[in-house]
């Protein structure tokens, strides 16, 4: 995909304004177009698009994507899109171009009949400048990383295993000059990562702890991302009902996002030392499976009573977060499709932000809004914290109440964060937008690469703030 400015194109997307309304009055009347949504003028290769008066970055991205989705199967190579500025910086260019490119994504490798998409160039109808070029570059890199994440998440469970994560990490490391360490069962045993190992015990494949590092010359901060990489989650012996198990190939979304983040960050040459840590496992059933009633001693030495083998993500993350803190991060974020409760509470389109540091949460939330993704802060609460107490171990992997499941899962993870890192840590539950069985906004059916854009826009804003000082 190419992005250029102020040139001719095969097709044009035109934003509605009073002048155009007047000029095209008769045509719009004929089409019974009432200045809402889009109006296609196929004879003139134009699509008219009404923008909402209260335009957010998310709305701009998704509106542009809706327009592109309408014309993406036409025989056109280039599309020109009007430009609107909703901020003083490059965000509108980013929002428009990201929306346009991601509208072209499809996961169709298993379908015989594929509708062709010929669009290879997007022209922005505005004068080029440095900020706009930067915005376009950001959109290109993020759209590329997001397609990369989506391909991993959409891939089927028989094909995409713990080994696949290793292969993908190797390829990513080679292409982007990243350091790579891959650890298997023996190392995990040596490191007492028994919670992580227990989850993977019934799998035909060994677990993988994958650690990628991007190290620029002058790093402003050390930032560690940890991703839940359940290549499949059957629930284990606490087996999921059939209709809940479906889509659990998406339980690797946190890990996939973390790969996408380090890929994008290195391509953007961000001035941060970035570590991407993946806990890749498969929650299966066999005679070797870990069991409800088991007690596991985690890497941190905290004993965990297993009351439900389907609450496995927090076990994998407990040990991976322990490993991550050994790196002495300035900022630590985990991304996980951790709870169904999060989807029930916030709906399918919104991720949850949790942690102990309210300023950090507020700052991340503000940045997430510029990214085009939806997020929402869920506050910890001492009354919920007492629900994960165990009678026989230090902590239970499930809550004693049916309410507040997203937060109790976050609080469980918090028990594995050392005092000195509590204020540096955020937990993102991406269970909703990681995988939606619908076309929505700029996303297509399936994986949504949730978390990727938020985290990169967060980094860019941190960088900007630090450079100002
Ligand atoms: N991977 C699931 C969470 C999930 C559910 C993600 C739906 C995306 C969509 C997680 O491992 C899980 O099963 N969590 C349980 C926890 C419960 C047993 C305490 C849940 O949310 O039901
Ligand atoms: Zn589960
Ligand atoms: Zn899971």
Instruction: Write out pLDDT tens, residues 6-24.
Output: 999 999 999 999 999 999 9
What does the alpha-carbon distance between residue 279 and residue 451 come to, in Å, rounded to a whole number? 17
Q: Give the ligand whose atoms come closest to the C-alpha of residue 230.
A: 3
DSSP class of residue 104 equals T
314 assigned to active site: yes
* pLDDT the model gives residue 89: 59
Fold entry, domain 160-468: Aminopeptidase (3.40.630)
Segment 120-177, tens digit of pLDDT: 999 999 999 999 999 999 999 999 999 999 999 999 999 999 999 999 999 999 999 9
Torsion sign, CA atoms 296, 302, 303, 306 = negative
Q: Give the ligand whose atoms come closest to the C-alpha of residue 236.
A: 2
Ligand 1 closest atom vs CA 337: 6
Torsion sign, CA atoms 222, 379, 348, 64 = negative
What does the alpha-carbon distance between residue 213 and residue 443 come to, in Å, rounded to a whole number? 29
**Stretch 357-371: mean pLDDT, rounded?**
97
Q: Ligand 1, atom 8: nearest CA belongs to which residue?
A: 431
* pLDDT the model gives residue 357: 98
Q: Are strands 38-41 and 46-49 parallel, antiparallel or unpaired?
A: antiparallel
The catalytic position among 121, 222, 240, 463 is 240
**Stretch 399-418: mean pLDDT, rounded?**
98
* pLDDT the model gives residue 98: 98
The domain segmentation of the chain, as residue ranges, is 2-140, 160-468
* pLDDT the model gives residue 78: 98
- Residue 468: band (very low, low, confident or very high) from pLDDT cuts 50, 70, 90: confident
- Cβ atoms 203, 282 nearer than 8 A: yes
Q: Ligand 1, atom 3: nearest CA belongs to which residue?
A: 339
Q: How far is the CA of 338 from the centre of ligand 1 (A)?
A: 6
Token code pair at residue 58: 């998310």
Q: How far is the CA of 312 from the centre of ligand 3 (A)?
A: 6
Q: How far is the CA of 408 from the centre of ligand 3 (A)?
A: 15
- Residue 346: band (very low, low, confident or very high) from pLDDT cuts 50, 70, 90: very high
- Residue 205: band (very low, low, confident or very high) from pLDDT cuts 50, 70, 90: very high
Q: How far is the CA of 316 from the centre of ligand 1 (A)?
A: 13
114 assigned to active site: no
Same CATH topology for 2-140 and 160-468?
no
Segment 41-95, tens digit of pLDDT: 999 999 999 999 889 999 999 999 999 999 999 999 999 999 999 876 567 999 9
Fold entry, domain 2-140: 3.40.220
Q: Ligand 1, atom 22: nearest CA belongs to which residue?
A: 340
What does the alpha-carbon distance between residue 439 and residue 100 come to, in Å, rounded to a whole number? 15
The catalytic position among 314, 370, 424, 453 is 314
* pLDDT the model gives residue 208: 98
Q: Which residues, judged by CB distance below 6 Å to any ligand atom, belong to the binding site of ligand 1?
A: 233, 251, 308, 310-313, 337-341, 343, 398, 405, 431
Ligand 1 closest atom vs CA 233: 1
Q: How far is the CA of 390 from the centre of ligand 1 (A)?
A: 20
* pLDDT the model gives residue 235: 98
* pLDDT the model gives residue 96: 97
Q: Give the ligand whose atoms come closest to the C-alpha of residue 429.
A: 1
**Stretch 252-269: mean pLDDT, rounded?**
99
Measured from the Cβ of residue 409, the count of other Cβ atoms closer than 10 Å reads: 28
- Residue 97: band (very low, low, confident or very high) from pLDDT cuts 50, 70, 90: very high
In terms of C-beta density within 10 A (0-12 exposed, 13-18 middle, 19 or more buried), how is residue 115 classed? exposed
Q: Give the ligand whose atoms come closest to the C-alpha of residue 337.
A: 1
Q: How far is the CA of 229 from the centre of ligand 2 (A)?
A: 12
**Stretch 250-258: mean pLDDT, rounded?**
99
Sequence-ordered list of residues with C-beta below 8 angstroms from that of 262, at least 6 positions apart, any chain: 172, 176, 178, 212, 214, 225, 274, 275, 276
What does the alpha-carbon distance between residue 11 and residue 334 come to, in Å, rounded to a whole number? 42
Work out the mean pLDDT of the chain and round it to a whole number: 97
Ligand 1 closest atom vs CA 283: 11
- Residue 118: band (very low, low, confident or very high) from pLDDT cuts 50, 70, 90: very high
């Amino acid at each position: 995909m190419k992005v250029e400015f102020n040139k001719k194109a095969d097709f044009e997307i035109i934003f509605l304004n009073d002048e155009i309304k007047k000029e095209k009055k008769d045509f719009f009347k004929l089409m019974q177009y009432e200045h809402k949504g889009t109006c296609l003028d196929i004879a003139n290769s134009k699509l008219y698009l009404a923008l909402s008066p209260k335009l957010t970055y998310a709305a701009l991205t998704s509106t542009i994507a809706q327009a592109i989705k309408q014309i993406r199967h036409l025989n056109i190579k280039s599309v020109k899109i009007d430009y609107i500025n909703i901020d003083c910086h490059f965000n509108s260019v980013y929002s428009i171009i990201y929306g346009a490119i991601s509208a072209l994504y499809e996961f169709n490798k298993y379908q015989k009949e594929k509708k062709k998409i010929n669009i290879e160039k997007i022209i922005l109808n505005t004068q080029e400048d440095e900020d706009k070029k930067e915005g376009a570059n950001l959109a290109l890199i993020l759209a590329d990383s997001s397609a990369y994440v989506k391909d991993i998440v959409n891939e089927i469970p028989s094909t995409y295993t713990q080994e696949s994560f290793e292969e993908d990490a190797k390829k990513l490391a080679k292409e982007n000059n990243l350091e790579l360490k891959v650890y298997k069962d023996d190392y995990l045993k040596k490191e007492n990562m028994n919670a992580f190992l227990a989850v993977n015990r019934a799998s035909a494949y060994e677990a993988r702890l994958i650690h990628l590092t991007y190290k620029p010359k002058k790093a402003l901060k050390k930032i560690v991302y940890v991703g839940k990489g359940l290549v499949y989650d059957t629930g284990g012996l606490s087996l999921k009902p059939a209709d809940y198990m479906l889509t659990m190939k998406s339980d690797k979304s946190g890990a996939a996002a973390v790969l996408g983040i380090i890929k994008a960050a290195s391509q953007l040459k961000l001035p941060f030392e970035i570590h991407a840590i993946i806990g890749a496992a498969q929650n299966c059933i066999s005679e070797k499976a870990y069991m409800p009633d088991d007690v596991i001693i985690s890497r941190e030495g905290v004993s965990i009573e297993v009351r439900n083998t389907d609450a496995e993500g927090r076990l994998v993350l407990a040990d991976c977060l322990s490993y991550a803190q050994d790196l002495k991060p300035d900022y630590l974020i985990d991304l996980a499709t951790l709870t169904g409760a999060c989807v029930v509470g916030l709906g399918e389109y919104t991720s949850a932000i949790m942690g102990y540091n309210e300023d950090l949460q507020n700052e991340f939330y503000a940045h997430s809004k510029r990214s085009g993704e939806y997020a929402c802060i869920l506050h910890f609460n001492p009354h919920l914290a007492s629900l994960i107490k165990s009678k026989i171990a230090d902590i239970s992997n499930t809550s004693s109440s049916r309410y507040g499941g997203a937060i109790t899962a976050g609080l469980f993870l918090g028990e594995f964060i050392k005092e000195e890192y509590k204020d540096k840590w955020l937990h993102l539950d991406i269970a909703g937008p990681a995988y939606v069985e619908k076309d929505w906004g700029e996303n297509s059916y399936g994986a949504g690469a949730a978390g990727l854009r938020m985290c990169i826009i967060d980094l860019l804003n941190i960088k900007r703030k630090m450079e100002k000082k």
